Amino acid sequence: MSMEIKEAIQNGKTVLGIELGSTRIKAVLIGEDNAPIASGSHDWENSYVDNIWTYSVDEIWKGIQDSYQKMASDVKQQYGVNLKKVGAIGFSAMMHGYMAFDKNEELLVPFRTWRNNITEQAATELTKLFNYNIPQRWSIAHLYQAILNQEDHIGDIAFQTTLAGYVHWKLTGQKVLGVGEASGVFPIDLNTKKFNQKMIGQFNELINSRNLSWKLEDILPEVLVAGESAGTLTEEGAKLLDPAGELEAGIPLCPPEGDAGTGMVATNSVAKRTGNVSAGTSAFAMVVLEKDLSKVYPEIDLVTTPTGNLVAMAHSNNCTSDLNAWVGLFGEFSKAIGMDVDMDKLYGTLFNHALEGDPDGGGLLSYGYLSGEHMTHFEEGRPLFVRNSESNFNLANFMRTHLMTAFGAMKIGMDILIKEEGVKLDEILGHGGVFKTEGVGQSVLAGALNVPVSVMETAGEGGAWGMALLGSFMLNKADNETLDDYLNNQVFADQAVKTVSPDPQDVAGFEQFIERYKNGLPIERAAIDNLK
């Protein structure tokens, strides 16, 4: 088997996917059977500079180069060959945010990430104008807010894109986005799979009195769908990706996508009536819709699959960060009493213990709001744990409460889809770190949504693998083969899946918990107002 992989590497029959997540940049190389054969990753953290969550350009390239170099070293170590060419490359990254460049290709202001809740006025006005929900995270909200703020750089914009679009542009010279990523920049016309021209016209009219030198269509990237070619790696791009100089230019790239789209691909949930939940620093549920929603909901984003089908997205800014901090505290305690416990064992023990708790968490309440939470209308966050004197305060309920609250804000959005809009779901696919301990995150989420939750063996591979699969689809698809068919037949046909059905007691318990969660929101507001 190793000889076959070695030959595939030497003959350029592999595909590389790289995803820039919030806390990790990961590179995954896949072989001819679409299974991962090598990987490398780089940890990074956003910085809070001048009231903006950001990453510097230097950090972006250092992280990409480091993850690529580690993946290439993994290839060398396992198969004894230097990685010189691959069949295709794809880049994905955290969606939304704001990267604006002048005519000299210089970044005009530091990258503003999805995490910034600073565009409320713009998002509200645009939602009203388009009669289409424009969340604060979306690139168009950032652009319009900068115009409303009369920021100096606005007149100098020549090009605006996302993090994935920026990386792709620098490596290929092509100003393009995959439609899934583009759907978090500006609304998509589902018939043309391009930006909505009517809304572009409305936006231009809205800013007409500002006398800017550009119109919106002048500064936005071109939109492509999965399977289309999106340019090739230039000589400069090859050196930028691999400063060691081994990688050859001329490699085709597929359209750059967002982490929502790659999550759909990695969990085989691009078909209608399927959905997936990605749970990490943030949590988002993606549900592929059979028809339009009946009205505009500020809690629900409408985006698309990488092929341009409508997806409802219930997104919460916060998920596991506070939970991880508590597990870290228990780790410190175990060290302090002379027991050096492996973190995987610690997570497994604490998570499994949560299953022994009361279905509603014993009356306990917590909010893991490390940053603002748009789903519940908070522009900043304060992690909080609170109980009353009658609560059943024990370790099992403490852990169960923190697992439930990790999905709390997201559930509020999902309840709109399932209870108010009557959206039907056959199953939800779970992926992300919270599902690593077998059965626990699944049980809690199944109780939250009252839907069966499945996790695949490959769930840990995540978005970088999903991005590599999009590259593989571009390279290897048959004539008229859809992405759904390609994934079902070529990638997931023999995939082992573990499914947990909702337990009625867990469902009832989560409903009790979410009522407590909603009623307790003024406590979170008081913490923000009084804990500076």
- Walk across the sheet containing 36-43 and list its strands: 36-43, 24-30, 15-20, 88-93, 257-258
pLDDT at 117: 85
459 pLDDT above the threshold of 90: no
CA 227 from centre of chain: 21
CB 150 within 8 A of CB 86: no
The H or E element spanning position 71 is helix 57-79
Give CA angle at 468 (240, 39), nearest 5°.
Answer: 70
Q: Is 479 helix (H, G, I), strand (E, B) or coil?
A: coil
pLDDT at 428: 93
284 pLDDT above the threshold of 90: no
212-262 pLDDT tens trace: 999 999 999 999 999 999 999 999 999 999 999 999 999 999 999 999 899
107-140 pLDDT tens trace: 999 999 988 889 999 999 999 999 999 999 999 9
What is d(CA 341, CA 329) in angstroms, rounded to the nearest whole number?
12
Average pLDDT value for residue range 428-445? 91
pLDDT at 433: 83
pLDDT at 207: 98
pLDDT at 426: 87
34 contacts: CB under 8 Å, gap ≥ 6:
468, 469, 472, 490, 491
371 pLDDT above the threshold of 80: yes
CA distances from 272 to 45, 95, 208, 427, 428 (A): 35, 22, 40, 11, 12
CB 167 within 8 A of CB 173: no
Domain with CATH 3.30.420.40 in the chain: 268-317+410-502
176 pLDDT above the threshold of 80: yes
pLDDT at 278: 86
CA distances from 177 to 40, 132, 159, 163, 208 (A): 24, 21, 13, 10, 26
pLDDT at 460: 58
Of the ranges 295-299, 344-348, 374-378, which is most confident? 344-348
218 contacts: CB under 8 Å, gap ≥ 6:
none
DSSP 8-state symbol, 501: P
Average pLDDT value for residue range 425-450? 92
With cut-offs at 50, 70 and 90, classify the pLDDT of residue 102.
very high
| DSSP conformation letters of 268-325 | T--STTEEEEEESSSEEEEEE-SS--SS--TT-EEEE-TT--EEEEEEES-SSHHHHH
Report the mean per-residue pLDDT for the chain. 95
The structural architecture, per CATH, of the domain 268-317+410-502 is 2-Layer Sandwich (3.30)
Average pLDDT value for residue range 68-96? 97
40-69 pLDDT tens trace: 999 999 999 999 999 999 999 999 999 999
CB 334 within 8 A of CB 346: yes
Average pLDDT value for residue range 172-181? 98
Average pLDDT value for residue range 306-323? 93
pLDDT at 458: 65
7 pLDDT above the threshold of 60: yes
317-332 CB burial, b ≥16 within 10 A, e <16: bbbbbbbbebbeebbe
Average pLDDT value for residue range 491-515? 94
Average pLDDT value for residue range 493-509? 93
Average pLDDT value for residue range 265-274? 88
What is d(CA 113, CA 122) in angstroms, rounded to the nearest whole number?
16
